């Protein structure tokens, strides 16, 4: 998906949303801060980083989404996210910042929901003398099934497009590309205010023209305030990255703390869509740390 194609898609989405009544419009805005700790499993996995040397850095994130519900349970939603990182200069070709835009749509059948998504990532990498850009498209299908009012499962099956950008001599191939991934999750509502969520994920593709593999597991807790539109959350993720040809590996732990505010007439009583897979994080590690 090119920026022009994305602009057309956003225009169509906007015109469709106008047709929905104000009672069916909803959205959310959020801020998050993520603490990251990475470690090499093999010498040379991260550029200029000794074996087993910890790699600590932080990320700030801003999220915005808005959508509309139509007749018979149909919905459309747009997600926007911006991430800024303070990765230390000892590691090259790594994430500096990234902007993600995704369009999501589908149908809510009551106790289950099926939909699809299409997105675009614009990411800046540290290229030593001059920063470079990489671009990725992604898309797939997603769903949710409610076993009961307190227990649910989610699933996401997607693909990551080919390499493009002006980084690395115009190849833009630092960071996972031409790949597929799957994420499965489960949630449990402990009380009216507290929910727990867990997930497993797997991705494979290429980076720097060689195969890479990602495995990830995560668990999170969400707390709803007296005002049900406000939610605070904490999430821990562990990921394992492996590059087959060079036999390089890394592991990472991340802790994300955030808060979000839902708005709109149905913003507080509509179950929000689960955030899409953390492709930006995967790009950051496979693009520079794992090389």
> Is the per-residue pLDDT at 268 higher than 70?
no
Specify the higher pLDDT residue, 99 or 7: 99
Q: How confident is the model at residue 263 (pLDDT cuts 50, 70, 90)?
A: confident
Counting the structural domains of the chain, the total is: 1
Q: What distance in Å separates the CA atoms of residue 164 and residue 149, rounded to the nearest whole number?
A: 44
* pLDDT one-digit tens code per residue, 15-32: 454 454 555 888 999 999
* pLDDT one-digit tens code per residue, 272-287: 677 788 888 888 787 7
Q: What is the pLDDT of residue 54?
A: 67
> Is the per-residue pLDDT at 169 higher than 90?
no
Q: What is the pLDDT of residue 18?
A: 47
> Is the per-residue pLDDT at 211 higher than 70?
yes
Task: Give a three-class secondary structure readout of the chain.
Answer: CCHHHHHHHHHHHHHHHHHCCHHHEEEEEEEEEEEEEEEECCCCCCCCCCCCCEEEEEEEEEEEEEEEECHHHEEEEEEEEEEEECCCCCCCCCEEEEEEEEEEEEEECCCEEEEEEEEEEEEEECCCCCCEEEEEEEEEEEEEEEEECCEEEEEEEEEECCCEECHHHHCCCCCCEEEEEEEEEEEEECCCCEEEEEEEEEEEEEECCEEEEEEEEEEEEEEECCCCCEEEEEEEEEEEEEECCCCEEEEEEEEEEEEEEEEECCCCCCCCCCCCCCHHHHHHHHHHHCC
**Number of C-alpha atoms within 13 angstroms, CB side, residue 103?**
16
CATH code of the domain containing 78: 2.40.160.40
Place of tokens 């049900």: 228
Q: What is the pLDDT of residue 102?
A: 95
Angle, CA of 129, 133 and 134, to the nearest 5°: 135
* pLDDT one-digit tens code per residue, 220-244: 999 999 998 899 999 999 999 888 7
Q: What distance in Å separates the CA atoms of residue 291 and residue 197, rounded to the nearest whole number?
A: 32
* Alpha-carbon torsion angle 259, 54, 201, 194, nearest 10: -30
Q: How many percent of the chain have pLDDT more than 70?
A: 77
Are 134 and 144 in contact by the 8 Å Cβ rule? The answer is no
Q: In terms of residue numbers, what domain contains 232?
A: 3-289
Least confident of 79-83, 96-100, 198-202: 96-100
* pLDDT one-digit tens code per residue, 122-141: 988 765 555 678 899 999 99
Q: What is the mean pLDDT of the chain?
A: 82
Q: How many percent of the chain have pLDDT more than 90?
A: 47
Q: How confident is the model at residue 11 (pLDDT cuts 50, 70, 90)?
A: very low
Average pLDDT (95-116) is: 92
- Tell me the backbone φ, ψ of residue 284, rounded to 5 degrees: -60, -45
Q: What distance in Å separates the CA atoms of residue 71 and residue 247, rounded to the nearest whole number?
A: 52
Q: What distance in Å separates the CA atoms of residue 194 and residue 143, rounded to the nearest whole number?
A: 22
Q: How confident is the model at residue 145 (pLDDT cuts 50, 70, 90)?
A: very high
Q: What is the pLDDT of residue 23?
A: 56
> Is the per-residue pLDDT at 88 higher than 70?
no
Angle, CA of 213, 216 and 220, to the nearest 5°: 160
pTM (two decimals): 0.85
* pLDDT one-digit tens code per residue, 45-75: 445 555 556 677 889 999 999 899 888 889 9
Q: What is the pLDDT of residue 265?
A: 60
CA–chain centroid gap for 170, Å, is 25
Are 35 and 55 in contact by the 8 Å Cβ rule? The answer is no
Least confident of 59-73, 98-112, 262-276: 262-276
Signed CA dihedral, 115, 221, 110, 262: sign only: negative
Beta bridge partner(s), residue 284: none
């Amino acid at each position: 998906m090119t920026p022009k194609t994305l602009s057309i898609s956003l225009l169509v989405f906007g015109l469709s949303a106008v047709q929905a009544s104000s009672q069916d419009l909803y959205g959310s805005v959020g801020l998050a801060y993520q603490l990251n700790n990475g470690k090499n499993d093999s010498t040379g996995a991260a550029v200029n980083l000794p074996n087993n040397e910890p790699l600590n850095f932080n990320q700030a994130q801003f999220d915005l989404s808005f959508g509309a519900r139509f007749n018979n349970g149909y919905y459309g939603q747009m997600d926007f996210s911006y991430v800024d990182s303070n990765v230390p200069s000892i590691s090259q070709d790594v994430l500096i910042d990234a902007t993600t835009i995704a369009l999501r749509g589908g149908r809510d059948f009551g106790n289950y929901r099926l939909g699809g998504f299409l997105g675009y990532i614009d990411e800046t990498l540290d290229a030593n003398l001059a920063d470079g850009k990489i671009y990725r498209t992604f898309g797939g299908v997603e769903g949710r099934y409610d076993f009961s009012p307190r227990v649910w499962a989610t699933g996401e099956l997607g693909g990551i497009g080919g390499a493009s950008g002006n980084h690395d001599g115009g190849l833009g191939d630092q960071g996972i590309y031409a790949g597929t991934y799957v994420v499965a999750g489960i949630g449990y509502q402990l009380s009216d205010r507290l929910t727990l969520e867990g997930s497993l994920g797997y991705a494979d593709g290429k980076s720097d023209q060689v195969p890479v593999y990602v495995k990830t597991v995560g668990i999170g807790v969400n707390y709803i305030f007296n005002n049900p539109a406000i939610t605070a959350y904490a999430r821990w993720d562990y990921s394992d990255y492996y590059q087959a040809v060079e036999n390089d590996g890394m592991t990472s732990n991340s802790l994300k703390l955030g808060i979000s505010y839902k708005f709109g007439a149905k913003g507080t009583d509509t179950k929000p869509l689960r955030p899409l897979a953390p492709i930006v994080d995967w790009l950051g590690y496979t693009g520079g740390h794992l090389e």
